[in-house]
Amino acid sequence: MQVYRFEADALNALIATLRERGYKVIAPTPMDGAVVLGEITDAGQLPRGYCDEQEKGVYRLKKTDRDAFFDFNVGPRSPKRYLFPTNHVLWRSRQENGRLEIYSESDDEKPFAFLGIRPCEMKAVAVQDRVLSKGPFADRIYSNRRQKALFIPVDCTRAGKTCFCTSMGGGPEATEGYHLALTEVIDENRHFFLARPGEENSVNLLECMQAVPATAEEIKQGRDLIEKTAACMGREVNTAGVAEMLAEYRDHPHWEEIGKRCMNCTNCTMVCPTCFCFEVEDHNDLTGQNTERTRQWDSCFNLSFTYQHGGSVRHTNKARYRQWLTHKFSAWHDQFGESGCVGCGRCITWCPVGIDVTEEIQMFQEKTS
Amino acid sequence: MTKPSLAVWKFASCDGCQLSILDCEDELLAIAGAVDIANFPEASREVKPGPYTVSLVEGSITTPHDRERIQEVRAQSGVLVAIGACATAGGIQALRNFSDVKGFTDAVYASPQYISTLETSTAISDHVKVDFELHGCPIDKYQLIRVLTDLLQGRTPLLPSESVCLDCKRAGVVCVMVTKGEPCLGPVTHTGCNALCPSYNRACFGCFGPKNTPNTTALADRCTENLGLEDEQMIRLFRTFNAGAPAFRTESERYENQNH
């Protein structure tokens, strides 16, 4: 398909057009020392001139001397937050004159346009699709929001120190599920975006930005940046045999060692763009007449997650960490035919004590070889 | 049918948790509609005799007199709910548990012989059977309403005892420990405050006390090895409003005794 080019300052026109078409534009924006996803109304809210430094348990937002809009890697929030809301009322009921009325809650959220999310996040959406909307029991809220959403990812032209997407079958270039994929190119003389329409009908989005067909040289500039990024991933996982290894060594003493460091605080599962666990609770008011059933994000690191009559199944840190890691890298294959990890590195950066999945997997590989 | 009765009791405390009940404002009429507020001296001079369906107990046990009084409260109460850090862990005044109380009374009072106090400040559950504990300094009023609602419906109250991080991330708050290197007790602290302090860009200081299965040692190791905290700072980190809670006490003693 034809690749287009538009000038960097045309981003505002794109945002305005998306808003005119009824979308809520969700894009990266700086907040409280990090680049997070949030609703924006203007290109001025993008993290222009910012980059981040990430390491295990460490994230620092920094100013750069460049004017690039997308010079950073993923922050703590992902599209999951919008497509699979953290807290949602499923239904309400009211008891009146001995009758019980049940009201289903409609989801009247506007459609989302995700601008500037990353290729690993696109891949994570595809992973969640298989879990939440392509199985025999499609999730109504997720499927509805997902179907209405528009995706305009920006390729990565910089790899973070906790990134390892190339190990997980992905890469810094968006390859699936997008409506329009962008590559930001900036040098001493020029600042422009390359645009690849994902579908015929998304070509019309280019009009508002006065996009023109890109030259071969411009396309090469973008390609070089992506290739350079793919070659400098901060982390690496050798996935060969990992699924089988984790399934086989369930009683390996190294789990105990990780359990001593893990705080079962849930951060890794909350920031993970593919984790989908939730809990359902019923509440009523003091009169006992009005009840609502809500659903909120839950985590396999919580004691209550496996609570059954008599106690919790996974009561040790070791058991809970093992559940999470083996599900991501092993059992997910059995359940959904692929890995549950896209290599975004969030669980490494946002673990308050800096537990690194890539290191732990390597440790198992060394100890069991 | 007579309404269930509610009593509110005060032991060694600042009254802040009782104020949280009055702070319910919008919900106060609903509470008064659902229960007969029979004994709540901070709110009303009218005190009806027990027994009471539900007792909310604020404060810790710090005197011989209170040690006896809590037995009387227990005897008059159907369900006894301990509310706040004082009632659930001994409160800030449990700092006395690590010190010489007689030294304090001699230094502070002109006539210390009139002071009748215990060597320790302890939780209500150290003295009587407690049916439910509501954490926080002060408690969260919405949690209180949930507990009352559940009790009135005849259900066991169900409140999360997981980490503050869970609610911090649900709320979309950016982690202050990871972005600023601040020592945050969130990963080992009982949730219930809707991540109040991190929402204002400040580290959690653990006012809800330890969560279930807290790994305080892993957090403390991170603070000393990577965030540059000294032993004295570690002791102070774990010794605030829940200094007497077993997990926090053990961790602070590990540093005090140089046993780490």
Decide if B160 contacts B166 (C-beta within 8 A).
yes
Distance (Å, whole) CA A5 – CA B198 = 42
Distance (Å, whole) CA A115 – CA A118 = 9
Residue B56's domain is classified under what CATH number? 3.40.50.700
Angle at alpha carbon of residue A218, lines to A216 and A220, rounded to 5°: 70
| Residue ending a domain, choose from B132, B152, B172 | B152
Residues A65 and A151 both lie in one domain: yes
Q: Is A82 on the interface with B (CB under 8 A)?
A: no
Angle at alpha carbon of residue A125, lines to A119 and A128, rounded to 5°: 145
The DSSP 8-state label assigned to residue A168 in this structure reads G
Domain count for chain B, please give it. 2
Residues A54 and A194 both lie in one domain: yes
Residues A111 and A156 both lie in one domain: yes
Query: What residues of chain B lie within 8 A of the CB of A260, using their CB?
Result: 215, 217-218
Residues B77 and B171 both lie in one domain: no
Query: What residues of chain B lie within 8 A of the CB of A271, using their CB?
Result: 169
Report, as an integer, the average pLDDT of B72-86: 97
Count of CB atoms situated within 10 Å of the CB of A185:
21
Nearest-CA distance A352 → chain B (Å): 6
Q: Specify which residues A59 forms β-bridges with.
A: A54
Nearest to A32, CA basis, from A50, A15, A44: A50
- Percentages helix, strand, coil for chain B (3-state, rounded to 5) are 45, 15, 40
Question: For residue B233, with 0-12 CB atoms within 10 Å meaning exposed, 13-18 middle and 19 or more buried, which class applies?
Answer: middle
| Residue ending a domain, choose from B152, B177, B205 | B152
Distance (Å, whole) CA B144 – CA B24 = 9
Within a domain: A235: no
Within a domain: B17: yes
Q: How far apart are the first and last CA of chain A?
A: 46
Residues A272 and A216 both lie in one domain: no
Residues B124 and B220 both lie in one domain: no
| Residue ending a domain, choose from A230, A252, A283 | A230
Distance (Å, whole) CA B244 – CA B166 = 24
Report, as an integer, the average pLDDT of B97-109: 95
Q: Specify which residues A339 forms β-bridges with.
A: none
**Which phi and psi (to 5°) does residue A231 adopt?**
-85, -10
Distance (Å, whole) CA B195 – CA B187 = 11
Residues A15 and A105 both lie in one domain: yes
Distance (Å, whole) CA B145 – CA B81 = 12
A262–B214 CB contact, under 8 Å: no
pLDDT tens-place values along chain A, 369 residues long? 799 999 999 999 999 999 999 999 999 999 999 999 999 999 999 999 999 999 999 999 999 999 999 999 999 999 999 999 999 999 999 998 889 999 988 888 999 999 999 999 999 999 999 999 998 899 999 999 999 999 999 999 999 999 999 999 999 999 989 999 999 999 889 999 999 999 766 778 899 999 999 999 999 999 999 999 999 999 999 999 999 999 999 999 999 999 999 999 999 999 999 999 999 999 999 888 999 999 999 999 999 999 999 899 999 999 999 999 999 999 999 999 999 999 999 999 999 999 999 999 999 999 998
Within a domain: A300: yes
Distance (Å, whole) CA B132 – CA B143 = 12
Residues A222 and A265 both lie in one domain: no
pLDDT at B260 > cutoff 80: no
B169–A353 CB contact, under 8 Å: no
Within a domain: A237: no
Within a domain: A330: yes
Nearest to A236, CA basis, from A101, A366, A357: A357
Residues B174 and B148 both lie in one domain: no
* Residue span of the structural domain in which A99 resides: 4-230
Residues A130 and A161 both lie in one domain: yes
Listed in order, strand segments (DSSP E) in A221-274 are: none
Residues B142 and B214 both lie in one domain: no
| Residue ending a domain, choose from A230, A252, A276 | A230
ipTM confidence score: 0.95
Nearest to B40, CA basis, from B28, B29, B56, B64: B56
Within a domain: A86: yes
Residues B229 and B109 both lie in one domain: no
Taking CA atoms, what residue in A is nearest to B149? Answer: A286
Within a domain: A204: yes
Taking CA atoms, what residue in B is nearest to A57? Answer: B178
Distance (Å, whole) CA B199 – CA A76 = 15
Residues B137 and B10 both lie in one domain: yes
Within a domain: B177: yes
Tell me, rounded to whole angstroms, the distance of Cα A265 from its chain centroid. Answer: 19
pLDDT at A41: 98
Residues B168 and B147 both lie in one domain: no
Q: What is the mean pLDDT of chain B?
A: 95
Residues B136 and B228 both lie in one domain: no
Dump pLDDT digits (tens) for A174-200: 998 999 999 999 988 999 999 999 976
Residues A218 and A248 both lie in one domain: no
Residues A268 and A299 both lie in one domain: yes
Within a domain: A165: yes
B162–A302 CB contact, under 8 Å: yes
Residues A320 and A222 both lie in one domain: no
| Residue ending a domain, choose from A230, A252, A286 | A230
Within a domain: B81: yes
Give the residue with greater pLDDT, B259 vs B147. Answer: B147
| Residue ending a domain, choose from B90, B124, B152 | B152
Within a domain: A236: no
Residues A113 and A212 both lie in one domain: yes
A263–B181 CB contact, under 8 Å: no
- The half-sphere exposure of A40 on its side-chain side, counting CA atoms within 13 A, is 26
Cα–Cα distance list, B47 to A92, B39, B41, B44, B55 (Å): 38, 5, 7, 7, 13
Within a domain: B159: no
Helices H / strands E in chain A, number of each: 12, 16
Q: Is B173 on the interface with A (CB under 8 A)?
A: yes
Within a domain: B157: no
Residues B103 and B218 both lie in one domain: no
Residues A140 and A12 both lie in one domain: yes
* Residue span of the structural domain in which B93 resides: 5-152
Taking CA atoms, what residue in A is nearest to B202? Answer: A32
Within a domain: B181: yes
H or E stretch at B71: helix B64-76
Decide if A145 contacts A82 (C-beta within 8 A).
yes
Decide if B72 contacts B98 (C-beta within 8 A).
no
Residues B146 and B168 both lie in one domain: no
**Which phi and psi (to 5°) does residue B35 adopt?**
-130, 160
Residues B65 and B100 both lie in one domain: yes
B219–A266 CB contact, under 8 Å: no
Nearest to B164, CA basis, from B184, B143, B142, B137: B184
Domain count for chain A, please give it. 2
- Percentages helix, strand, coil for chain A (3-state, rounded to 5) are 35, 25, 40
Within a domain: B158: no
What is the full DSSP assignment across B159-221? ---SBHHHHHHHTTPPPHHHHH-----GGGBB--S-SHHHHTT-----TT-B-SS--HHHHHH
Q: Which of A59, A261, A285 sits opposite B178 (nearest CB)?
A: A59
Dump pLDDT digits (tens) for A249-290: 999 999 999 999 999 999 999 999 999 999 999 999 988 899
pLDDT at B1: 59
What percentage of chain B carries pLDDT values higher than 90? 88
Residues B200 and B118 both lie in one domain: no
Report, as an integer, the average pLDDT of B18-40: 91
What are the structure tokens assigned to A136, written together?
A: 């025999």
As a residue count, chain B comes to: 260
